[in-house]
Amino acid sequence: MKLAVIGCGYVGLVTGACLAEAGHDVVCTDIDADRIAQLQSGNVPIYEHHLDKVLESVRRSGQISYTADAGDAIRASEAIFICVGTPPKDNGDADLSAIDNVARQIATEARSSKLVIEKSTVPARTGLELRRALSAYSRNSGLTFRVVSNPEFLREGTAVEDFLHPDRIVVGVEDDSSAAQMREIYRPILERKFRCPVHEDACPAGPEAPLLVTTINSAELIKHASNSFLALKISYANALADICERIGADVHEVTHAMGLDPRIGGQFLQAGLGFGGFCFPKDLQAFVHLAGTVGVDFEILKAAERVNKQRIDRFLEKVHQALWVVKGKRVAILGLAFKANTDDVRFSPALEVARRMLAEGADVHATDPEAISRAEAILPQVAYHRDPYDALRDAEALLICTEWDEFRQLDWERVAKLMARRLVIDGRNLCSPARMRELDFEYFSFGRELVRSSRMEAAR
Ligand code: UDX
């Protein structure tokens, strides 16, 4: 099928690449002409695992093309995926102006009827507004625009895998023919008829993912409800970690046992600096706002937000407890991205930690496997190092802010020798307290025992 993707952020590019890999003819467009020029010359402007491989393969096979002219993309396609940004406004509501602009473009540029698929994360009822906007902006009454809500469940860093091996595909529709067309679009994915970039030999066997057909309002709600529930789980684990610290229990032991209950599940119970990124904080805010507009006070989500905001304060309390005076001290930050395996620093707890350390007059050195250039553009006052050992050399404290495997696998004996003081404040519970004790580090983490170095023990 001929498909257009409007918006070449990570969701748009992953959607375009994977649907092209699944055999569709895909044309991608974006208002950022530089981004389109980069993509045309084979450069991938974002770091997303496997994405470069898939984009290269579909570029060679001619399944994908790029244009800065949205009109061309719209006219060339039967179905159009809207993947533009919906950033939060000051009141927590989602800013839907980009969707509105795209609706105007589709309505005025189309020369034939289209299936318009809303993939951007939007509050419930947006699809219905989108349908109204499409007919209001259209000058040709002979054209019809059928609207579908098809929320994405793509985690940054594993988005290609999530797209090609979904747990479920949700399509919110108003008529059977839209549902049939969506099934046709996703058929190669459901039947696994693509070259999988994730699994070199064969994809793990498993049942076909369900394609759930719902109303448009339900589909939109499913996205917000899922992300908010996951955020709630994280805040639950974080509040639990605070209790564990006070009563001397270990949060890993507790959440591990909890997670073995299939009704709870072990994922998203990792305590630490809390959730960041462009999705969870804004989706949670938008959901609370939406609930408020229909007269529901979503108190537990507000509490989840509150717990999350307090994580940075809790982390800094540990820094102060360990360092006493921060001003003038050299501090190393390991990790800048909002989570591992991405270069995205939007709403990253790590950047907030760096900001607060700078504000207190620390000499801040930082490293990250992928996110340095993005962080540098926001916080130029930090000294950045590609090599983590250079970042932590002579530091009086090492703050772990992102759960990269690279940090777990550091040569910690070497770290101990390079630092001015053996002090680690682990915001992601990445290291083992036993190993830290062995190496005579003073080690703080969330919801686990505090490890004192022999020198600290002697000073007590
Ligand atoms: C999320 C959703 O998971 C995805 O389905 C959606 O479509 C987009 O938003 P993403 O923002 O990429 O994906 O990040 P995710 O992997 O969900 O993690 C979100 C944040 O929670 C990160 O900051 C992460 O570090 C934090 N987190 C995650 C925890 O603090 N503890 C956990 O146990 C899990």
Active-site residues, by number, are 279
Q: Are 312 and 242 in contact (CB under 8 A)?
A: no
Q: Which amino acid is at 422?
A: R
Among residues 124, 293, 115, 306, which one has the least CA distance to residue 223? 124
Is the CB of 227 inside a 6 Å radius of any atom of ligand 1?
Answer: yes
With the most atoms of ligand 1 within 8 angstroms of its CB, the residue from 275, 283, 407 to mutate is 275
Among residues 166, 230, 205, 122, which one has the least CA distance to residue 14? 166
Beta bridge partners of 443: 424, 451
Cβ contacts of 380 within 8 Å, gap of 6 or more: none
Is the CB of 352 inside a 6 Å radius of any atom of ligand 1?
Answer: no
Is the CB of 280 inside a 6 Å radius of any atom of ligand 1?
Answer: yes
Cβ contacts of 43 within 8 Å, gap of 6 or more: none
Cβ contacts of 161 within 8 Å, gap of 6 or more: 49, 50, 198
Give CA 139 to chain center in angstroms: 38
Classify residue 324 by burial, with Cβ atoms within 10 Å: 0-12, 13-18, 19+: exposed
Report how far residue 133's alpha carbon sits from residue 394's, in angstroms, rounded to the nearest whole number. Answer: 59
Q: Are 53 and 197 in contact (CB under 8 A)?
A: yes
Tens-digit pLDDT profile for the chain (460 aa)? 999 999 999 999 999 999 999 999 999 999 999 999 999 999 999 889 999 999 999 999 999 999 999 999 999 999 999 999 988 888 878 899 999 999 999 999 999 999 999 998 888 889 999 999 999 999 888 999 999 999 999 999 999 999 999 999 999 999 999 999 999 999 999 999 999 999 988 888 888 999 999 999 999 999 999 999 999 999 999 999 999 999 999 999 999 999 999 999 999 999 999 999 988 998 899 899 999 999 999 999 999 999 999 999 999 999 999 999 999 999 999 999 999 999 999 999 999 999 999 999 999 999 999 999 999 999 999 999 999 999 999 999 999 999 999 999 999 999 999 999 999 999 999 999 999 999 999 999 999 999 998 877 887 7
Question: In what order do the strands lie in the sheet containing 64-67?
Answer: 64-67, 25-29, 2-6, 79-82, 114-118, 145-149, 169-172, 211-214
Is the CB of 269 inside a 6 Å radius of any atom of ligand 1?
Answer: yes
Measured in angstroms, how far is the CA atom of residue 340 from the centroid of ligand 1? 10
Measured in angstroms, how far is the CA atom of residue 280 from the centroid of ligand 1? 7
Is 0.85 topped by the overall pTM? yes
Cβ contacts of 288 within 8 Å, gap of 6 or more: 92, 298, 301, 302, 305
Query: Mean pLDDT across the chain, nearest whole number?
Result: 95
Measured in angstroms, how far is the CA atom of residue 277 from the centroid of ligand 1? 7
Cα dihedral 344, 350, 356, 357 sign: negative
Is the CB of 298 inside a 6 Å radius of any atom of ligand 1?
Answer: no
With the most atoms of ligand 1 within 8 angstroms of its CB, the residue from 234, 342, 343 to mutate is 234
Tell the residue nearest (CA) to atom 17 of ligand 1: 155
Is the CB of 347 inside a 6 Å radius of any atom of ligand 1?
Answer: no
Atom of ligand 1 nearest to the CA of 270: 33
Q: Are 115 and 78 in contact (CB under 8 A)?
A: yes
- In our burial notation (b when 16+ CB lie closer than 10 A, e otherwise), range 160-187 reads bbbbbbbeebbbbbbeeebbebbeebbe
- For residue range 225-246, list pLDDT tens digits in order: 999 999 999 999 999 999 999 9
Six-digit token string for 262: 């299939």
Among residues 88, 135, 133, 101, which one has the least CA distance to residue 30? 101
User: What letter does residue 272 receive in the DSSP assignment?
Assistant: S
Q: Which amino acid is at 239?
A: A
Among residues 350, 273, 354, which one has the least CA distance to residue 311? 273
DSSP state letters, 192-246: T-S--SS-SS-PPP-PPPPEEEE-HHHHHHHHHHHHHHHHHHHHHHHHHHHHHHH
Among residues 202, 194, 255, which one has the least CA distance to residue 63? 194
- For residue range 347-358, list pLDDT tens digits in order: 999 999 999 999
Question: In what order do the strands lie in the sheet containing 423-426?
Answer: 383-384, 363-367, 330-334, 397-400, 423-426, 442-444
User: What letter does residue 96 receive in the DSSP assignment?
Assistant: -
